[in-house]
A and B are shown apart, each in its own frame.
Chain A
């Protein structure tokens, strides 16, 4: 049975998270049909063929120039009703979290959301999702057909499975929207969102004052555009950093390849946001800080000596 993978675009350019969605959809078997809502052709869309999409469908309506939740939900639900799909897979991104439940409700089902694993087991879709701040995993059997699912970002590392995917464009009609995106206030150019970074260097109260985040920004810079600077709740609440940078329960949930926690003690609510990171490094002056319990590698000591040295070493590697 076919799985429908819902891609994301912004300003008519495909977003990279789409590759994770196609990769995750493959866990349920083949074929995989990739679908996107666009105002016209979406730049880079052919790339999903590389990750194993058998068919690429663009649903076209001028309203899709910006994210139109009601119109997108309508178009996707109509597509889903035609298809007899096993599952519809979204990213659990800001857009996916907003869109998936709308589509699901139109199909009379709910979403199994924010998954870290999915499979077909004895003919049924069985999924795993972290609950209770990541302190437990809930394994759930999804009896709906289609199963509507959303995947936690950065968990499903894109796997290349080159295919020559067939393309289809379909003009769709949508009803007038009561919710419309007026504009996107973009973050300054060159800033990478923590939710999308492969490397995150997060700072906490151990940084002592806001200006000292400069040492973390320098370390992030040494990774050459792959790293973002995150923050603990304490420093966001103190107004040192923006909420957009907060990692943890009331901030973002991240799963980068490398997470470096600097001057962060490791409160449960912080761990909730980063415990699925692939490799965790902790730098803290208190050798008993809870962060060392979940870190793969720890360095005890003064961050103002350790971090600049680390920056120097990373620069050498990337030099």
Chain B
């Protein structure tokens, strides 16, 4: 089985967000970057599929700056065979431009599966996966939390409001992975050592600027300072009064 996994380097979710002087972007000073958590499910799933089949090839593709080599090494340390960095200083704000760049690289290589995380935790777009699927004209199932594959037939489950959708699809396909699909492994020391010697190709790319333009990056509106109503069950009467009369939600 030949599997491509598209991954992204993102700020850790605990990052304190400081807006850069341009008012348009994140001040990256002191920010810790990690492999996007949803992409870990994709990498893990690829590894499990290969292990089950006993043969195959897994490559990761990452659109990002030079520093994203470190992100790729994380995936290599988990067990991926090789990595490709599509190097660009800036990831376009328009997801279609990211998708076009990835699709151009993935095209024509006869992947059985192309996996993505369901979304990146920095920009919350949840669409580069399905956009790539459309560009490559491949079937696509998003937010997969359970997966079975038999030959060229697959069955995936995805959470929807109030239930679970069971979806049949044919391979080759693009899937985006959700929590629940698997439990991603931690890279072992042996894997980390091995990763240093695995192939990592760097290809400069120039994504287009697209049709979305950032006007501003702003702090979220301050929530009006809250109050501690009181302590223990004795405060409940006052809480209910405030919810009724002040907040008007009861």
Contact = CB atoms under 8 A, between A and B. Distances in A.
Do the two chains belong together in a single complex? yes
A140 to B, nearest CB: 5
Contacts of B212: 110, 112, 140-144
A298 to B, nearest CB: 4
A278 interface: yes
Interface string B179-215: 1100000000000000000000000000000111111
With most chain B CB atoms within 10 A of its CB, the pick from A250, A257, A278 is A250
Interface string B227-250: 111111101110110111001011
B214 A138 contact: yes
B179 A250 contact: yes
A193 B161 contact: yes
Contacts of B228: 287, 292, 298-300
Classify the secondary structure of A's interface with B.
mixed
B27 to A, nearest CB: 11
A110 B95 contact: yes
B223 to A, nearest CB: 5
A163 interface: no
Interface string A93-124: 11101101110111011111110000000000
B164 A185 contact: yes
A164 interface: no
B179 A317 contact: no
Contact of B130 (A98, A143, A181): A98
Contacts of B169: 178-180
Contacts of A278: 249
Contacts of A114: 124-126
Given A132-B26, A135-B220, A184-B166, A243 B13 contact: no
B127 to A, nearest CB: 4
Size category, B interface: 35 or more
Contact of A110 (B96, B218, B247): B96
Given A113-B124, A132-B26, A292-B226, A187 B162 contact: yes
B11 A132 contact: yes
Given A142-B211, A179-B169, A278-B249, A97 B160 contact: no
Given A144-B211, A299-B229, A187 B163 contact: yes
Contact of B220 (A93, A94, A134, A141): A134
Interface stretch (B14-22, B45-53, B63-71): B14-22
B211 A109 contact: yes
B57 interface: no
Nearest to B218: A137
B128 to A, nearest CB: 8
A183 interface: yes
B101 interface: no
A90 B212 CA distance: 18
A136 B179 contact: no
A70 B137 CA distance: 10
Given A250-B37, A297-B229, A181 B165 contact: yes
Given A105-B134, A110-B131, A113-B125, 17 more contacts: A95-B160, A97-B142, A98-B158, A100-B127, A101-B130, A110-B212, A111-B95, A126-B215, A143-B212, A183-B165, A199-B249, A243-B179, A243-B180, A281-B239, A295-B226, A296-B227, A299-B229
Interface of B: 11, 13-17, 19, 26, 37-38, 93-97, 99, 121-127, 130-131, 133-135, 139-143, 145, 155, 157-170, 173, 179-180, 210-220, 223-224, 226-233, 235-237, 239-240, 242-244, 247, 249-250
28 contacts: A93-B161, A95-B160, A98-B130, A110-B127, A132-B17, A133-B13, A133-B121, A135-B15, A136-B220, A137-B219, A139-B217, A144-B212, A179-B167, A182-B166, A182-B168, A184-B163, A184-B166, A185-B164, A185-B166, A258-B243, A269-B14, A279-B249, A292-B228, A300-B228, A300-B232, A301-B233, A313-B240, A317-B250
